[in-house]
């Protein structure tokens, strides 16, 4: 074999046969990321591992049986020992979190569920540090993203993560927020799925108005963005595809605007760093966060989870994944986490409704971006709108 284009499905299967558990999962994640980038860079025509099963994902921790728990508590005489047993046995708090937990980290709230079988639900959550909590519905920091190459933003003289993409590296993470489960019943109004675009600050950008954004955060794409936020999103998607053109794309224009938009308007396979993020708004717990190498153009992978192969992953660092299990869908924030990861299982119909809502938000953004382009890029409006539709894998509507 002399080129990746000679790889077949049998080669993929031979590579994955053997290792199980974390090793097999990490190998599958690496192959998905590699082939996704190779296809985006047009070194491959077909991504053979797009829907590669992740396998061996950890389910939701189950409480210790009451009789066993009672025996453990009887043997623990100190209050802190009993408290530690409750955290570990009932709420699945990792050992590292128990050792470093502070009293101020515990947030206890009372919630009344509309279901008569659940008149009062107790929810306990380890409070994340202030820096990791989102202060805006529009944009939120990404504390769980370790670096893909370096923690510093790229400069004009430094190479990016991938030679020809505009995908910047991510910073080192802070301490992770950890969900502590206590028989919490989730309702559709609690879980939210949003299309998010990975962004970074561009203080020197002057081709059109953009908003003030922090680097390595996310911008939620919907139909309620301000003109400056739409400008930020268009700038980011164009920059993701801003590299030296191939011969068939023609020479790059000499004017600054035409040069910046050239890749977006001429590339056959576009990339928009981000994806669909799933959050429990009651506890600010993230269950799916787009990782490095994941793009919004692959949002239809969620349809594969529901109606196709039954599983999909969404980049790495974190290695978020979704897997169909019977009539539920299991969401895992980081399948490769060594110290545990937030996991939840939702009914398939609820996930289907979430995907439909996120798709509607994405379409609303595209419509808003079309109107924005007519006002700010009148000579390129039609071409930019069509390119954004391709970057988001949406069809244009009249």
For the stretch 290-341, pLDDT in tens is: 988 899 999 999 999 999 888 898 988 899 999 999 899 999 999 888 777 8
Judge whether residue 59 has pLDDT over 80.
Answer: no
Token digits for 145?
Answer: 């993203």
Cα distances (angstroms) measured from residue 160 to each of 62, 144, 146, 155, 381 = 43, 20, 16, 9, 29
| pLDDT number for residue 38 | 72
Q: Is the pLDDT confidence value at 71 over 70?
A: yes
Which band of pLDDT confidence, cut at 50, 70 and 90, is reported for residue 39? low
In the structure encoding, which two tokens stand for residue 45, read together? 């025509």
- Would the pLDDT of 387 be above 70? yes
Residue 186's pLDDT band, with cuts at 50, 70 and 90, is very low
Say whether pTM exceeds 0.85: no
Q: Who wins on pLDDT, 228 or 216?
A: 228
Average pLDDT of span 33-41: 69
Give the pLDDT score at 45. Answer: 54
Q: Which of 344, 57, 337, 343 is nearest to 173 (CA)?
A: 337
Helix (H, G, I), strand (E, B) or coil at 243: coil
**pLDDT confidence of residue 193:** 97
Give the single-character DSSP code of 40.
H
- Average model confidence (pLDDT) for the chain? 75
Reported as a pLDDT band with limits 50, 70 and 90, residue 155 is very low
Q: Return the pLDDT at 262.
A: 93
Q: What is the rounded average pLDDT of the residues 158-167?
A: 40
Residue 347 has pLDDT above 90, yes or no: yes
Highest mean pLDDT among 137-146, 163-172, 195-204: 195-204
Better pLDDT: 259 or 143: 259
pLDDT of 19 reads 67
Give me the pLDDT at residue 171, please.
Answer: 39
What's the whole-number mean pLDDT along residues 342-361?
Answer: 95
pLDDT number for residue 88: 79
Contact 221, 195 (CB under 8 A): yes
Question: What's the average model confidence in pLDDT over 384-389?
Answer: 97
More confident residue, 276 or 215: 276
DSSP state of 375: H
pLDDT at residue 201 in the model: 81
φ/ψ region of 300 (left if φ > 0, alpha if ψ in -120 to 50, else beta) reads alpha
Buried b (16+ CB within 10 A) or exposed e, 343-366: bbbbebebbbebbebbbebbbbbb
Is it the case that residue 381 has pLDDT exceeding 80?
A: yes
**Choice among 32-36, 87-91, 176-180 with the minimum mean pLDDT:** 176-180
For the chain, how long is the longest CA-to-CA vector? 78
Query: Residue range 31-54: average pLDDT?
Result: 64
Per-residue pLDDT band for 48 (boundaries 50, 70, 90) equals low
Q: What percent of the chain has pLDDT over 70?
A: 65
- Work out the burial of residue 166: count CB atoms within 10 Å of its CB; fewer than 13 is exposed, 13-18 middle, 19 or more buried: buried
Ramachandran quadrant class, 284 (left: phi over 0; alpha: psi -120 to 50; beta: rest):
left
Query: CB–CB of 313/335 below 8 Å?
Result: yes
Query: How far is Cα 117 from Cα 124, in angstroms, rounded to an integer?
Result: 20
Task: Give me the pLDDT at residue 119, please.
Answer: 43
């Amino acid at each position: 074999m002399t080129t990746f284009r000679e790889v077949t499905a049998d080669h993929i299967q031979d590579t994955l046969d053997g290792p199980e558990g974390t090793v097999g999962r990490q190998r599958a994640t690496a192959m998905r990321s590699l082939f996704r980038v190779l296809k985006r860079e047009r070194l491959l025509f077909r991504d053979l591992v797009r829907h590669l099963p992740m396998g061996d994902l950890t389910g939701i921790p189950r409480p210790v049986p009451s009789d066993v728990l009672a025996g453990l508590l009887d043997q623990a005489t100190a209050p802190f020992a009993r408290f530690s047993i409750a955290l570990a046995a009932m709420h699945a708090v990792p050992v590292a979190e128990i050792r470093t937990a502070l009293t101020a980290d515990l947030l206890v709230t009372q919630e009344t569920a509309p279901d008569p079988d659940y008149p009062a639900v107790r929810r306990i959550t380890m409070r994340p540090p202030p820096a990791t909590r989102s202060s805006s519905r529009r944009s939120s920091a990404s504390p769980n993203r370790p670096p893909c190459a370096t923690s510093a933003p790229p400069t004009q003289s430094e190479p990016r993560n991938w030679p020809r993409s505009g995908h910047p590296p991510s910073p080192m993470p802070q301490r992770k927020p950890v969900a502590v489960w206590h028989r919490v019943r989730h309702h559709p109004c609690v879980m939210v799925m949003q299309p998010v675009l990975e962004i970074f600050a561009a203080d020197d950008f002057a081709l059109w108005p953009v908003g003030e954004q922090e680097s390595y955060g996310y911008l939620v794409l919907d139909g309620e963005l301000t003109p400056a936020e739409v400008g930020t999103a268009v700038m980011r998607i164009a920059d993701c595809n801003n590299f030296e053109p191939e011969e068939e794309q023609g020479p790059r224009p000499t004017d600054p605007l035409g040069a910046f938009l050239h890749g977006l308007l001429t590339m056959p396979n576009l990339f928009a760093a981000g994806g669909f993020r799933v959050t429990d708004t009651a506890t600010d717990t993230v269950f799916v966060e787009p990782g490095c190498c994941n793009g919004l153009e692959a949002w239809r992978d969620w349809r594969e989870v529901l109606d196709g192969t039954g599983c999909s992953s969404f980049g790495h660092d974190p290695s978020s994944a979704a897997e169909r299990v019977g009539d539920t869908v299991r969401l895992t924030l980081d399948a490769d986490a060594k110290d545990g990861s937030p996991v939840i299982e939702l009914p398939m119909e609820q996930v289907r409704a979430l995907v439909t809502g996120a798709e509607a938000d994405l379409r609303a953004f595209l419509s808003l971006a079309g109107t924005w382009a007519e006002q700010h890029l009148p000579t390129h409006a039609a071409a930019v709108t069509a390119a954004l539709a391709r970057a988001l894998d949406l069809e244009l509507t009249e």
